[in-house]
């Protein structure tokens, strides 16, 4: 533990107590020598002007704060080595996943964090080379992200133009934004859509010309949002009304048995070494893509509609490779 961590821990210990704590108890908590603790106490009291006093009656140290006075806080930003490590991981994660999305706003904070890292000699600069969060087939959120995020956080209604990929259709939407979701290297906006009077999800990279409206957004409870968006499979909302039963080969079972496809899935190993996975879903599109990813190592047992869909897609794929 370096001196900055020790001062921070000493402050937190004193701040959390209403009674005095003995010198020996402080030594045990900070795991340091008498001389080191004396230096930490002097630094906290003399350099940072902490109201630190020795209570002779209680034979210990405490913060002396007047009744009704604001509790003492260390000035500036104080982080332990572990907290700085966590911030560096978050900084790298935002850089890789955000694609420059938050660069303008996080730039000053990143600079301050870099200064702290250099000052603390923690060698956390290695994070740039040692940490990676690669994206695959990522879809950038686009220039609309800042406006949409602002409306979502301020709980204001939002207007935007939307270009649907599946139907190749342009429309204008007035919505109550509920939350932004980063899922499979793409950003989505969960909303209450005024036109359809239902909960809808919009892909952020298809949103353009967004405007924050003065009206307050309609608030949907977290429970209702989760019931709608988390019940189905993947990004497609709607309450699950079907259960897929999949059987994986014994070779692939070693991987699939440790994966979470859905929070309400049910899996078990069968007597022959294969693995059966039951997944609730409503819309088959994303589920079918994940099934096809396992190729010859998975078989759809039921429902028949999902079996037919996967078989049809496999047949279409095979038709692209006619025999010579």
Structural domain total, the chain: 4
Tokens 């978050």, residue located: 90
215 and 267 inside one domain? no
180 and 248 inside one domain? no
Calculate what percentage of the chain has a pLDDT beyond 90.
Answer: 55
pLDDT for the residue 103: 59
Q: Examine residue 110 and state whether it is found in any structural domain, yes or no.
A: yes
In the beta sheet, which residues pair with residue 173? 160
54 and 98 inside one domain? no
Overall pTM > 0.85 = no
Q: Which of 12, 30, 63 is the last residue of a domain?
A: 63
Domain range for 113 is 81-130
Higher per-residue confidence, 100 vs 18: 18
Q: Examine residue 263 and state whether it is found in any structural domain, yes or no.
A: yes
Q: Which of 173, 189, 220 is the last residue of a domain?
A: 220
Mean pLDDT (the chain, rounded): 85
Tokens, residue 227: 């019931």
Q: What is the pLDDT of residues 141-198, one digit of tens each?
A: 777 888 998 899 999 999 999 998 878 899 999 999 999 988 888 889 999 999 899 9
CATH number at residue 187: 2.30.30
* DSSP single-letter state for residue 266: E
Q: Examine residue 58 and state whether it is found in any structural domain, yes or no.
A: yes
Q: Examine residue 109 and state whether it is found in any structural domain, yes or no.
A: yes
CATH number at residue 259: 3.30.70
pLDDT for the residue 238: 80
196 sits in the region (left: phi over 0; alpha: psi -120 to 50; else beta) called alpha
285 and 248 inside one domain? yes
Q: Examine residue 88 and state whether it is found in any structural domain, yes or no.
A: yes
314 and 246 inside one domain? yes
Across the beta sheet with 207-216, the strand order is 198-203, 186-193, 169-183, 156-164, 207-216
pLDDT at 123 over 70: no
85 and 58 inside one domain? no
Burial of 132-151, coded b for 16+ CB within 10 Å and e otherwise, reads eeeeeeebbbbebbebbbeb
pLDDT for the residue 34: 93
Tokens, residue 186: 């793409």
115 and 159 inside one domain? no
CATH number at residue 22: 1.10.10.10
Q: How far is CA 71 from the centre of its chain?
A: 32
122 and 171 inside one domain? no
Q: What is the pLDDT of residues 249-295, one digit of tens each?
A: 999 999 999 999 998 999 999 999 999 999 999 999 999 999 999 99
HEC-encoded secondary structure of 138-169: CECCCCCHHHHHHHHHHCEEEEEEEEECCCCE
260 and 315 inside one domain? yes
Q: Examine residue 85 and state whether it is found in any structural domain, yes or no.
A: yes
Q: Examine residue 237 and state whether it is found in any structural domain, yes or no.
A: no
178 and 208 inside one domain? yes
Q: What is the pLDDT of residues 42-92, one digit of tens each?
A: 999 998 888 999 999 999 999 987 776 678 887 755 566 667 667 777 767
Q: What is the pLDDT of residues 209-231, one digit of tens each?
A: 999 999 999 999 999 998 888 88
125 and 154 inside one domain? no
């Amino acid at each position: 533990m370096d001196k900055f961590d020790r001062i921070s821990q000493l402050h937190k210990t004193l701040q959390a107590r209403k009674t005095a704590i003995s010198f020996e108890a402080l030594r045990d908590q900070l795991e340091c020598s008498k001389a080191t603790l004396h230096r930490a106490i002097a630094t906290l009291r003399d350099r940072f002007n902490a109201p630190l006093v020795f209570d002779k009656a209680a034979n210990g140290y405490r913060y002396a704060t007047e009744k009704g006075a604001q509790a003492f806080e260390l000035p500036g930003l104080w982080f332990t080595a572990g907290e700085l490590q966590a911030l560096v991981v978050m900084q790298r994660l935002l850089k890789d996943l955000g694609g420059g999305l938050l660069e303008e706003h996080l730039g000053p904070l990143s600079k301050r964090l870099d200064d702290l890292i250099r000052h603390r000699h923690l060698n956390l600069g290695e994070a740039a080379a040692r940490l990676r969060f690669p994206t695959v087939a990522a879809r950038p959120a686009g220039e609309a992200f800042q406006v949409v995020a602002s409306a979502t956080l301020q709980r204001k209604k939002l207007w935007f133009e939307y270009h649907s990929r599946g139907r190749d259709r342009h429309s204008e939407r007035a919505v109550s934004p509920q939350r932004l979701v980063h899922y499979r290297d793409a950003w989505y906006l969960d909303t209450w859509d005024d036109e359809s009077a239902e909960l809808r999800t919009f892909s952020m990279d298809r949103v353009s010309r967004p405007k924050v409206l003065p009206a307050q957004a309609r608030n949907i409870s977290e429970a209702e949002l989760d019931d709608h968006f988390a019940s189905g499979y993947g990004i497609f909302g709607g309450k699950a009304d079907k259960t897929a039963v999949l059987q994986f080969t014994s070779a692939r079972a070693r991987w699939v048995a440790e994966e979470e496809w859905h929070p309400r899935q049910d899996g078990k190993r069968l007597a022959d070494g294969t693995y059966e996975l039951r997944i609730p879903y409503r819309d088959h599109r994303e589920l079918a893509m994940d099934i096809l990813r396992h190729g010859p190592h998975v078989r759809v047992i039921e429902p028949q509609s999902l079996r037919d869909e996967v078989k049809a897609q496999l047949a279409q794929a095979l038709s692209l490779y006619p025999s010579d």
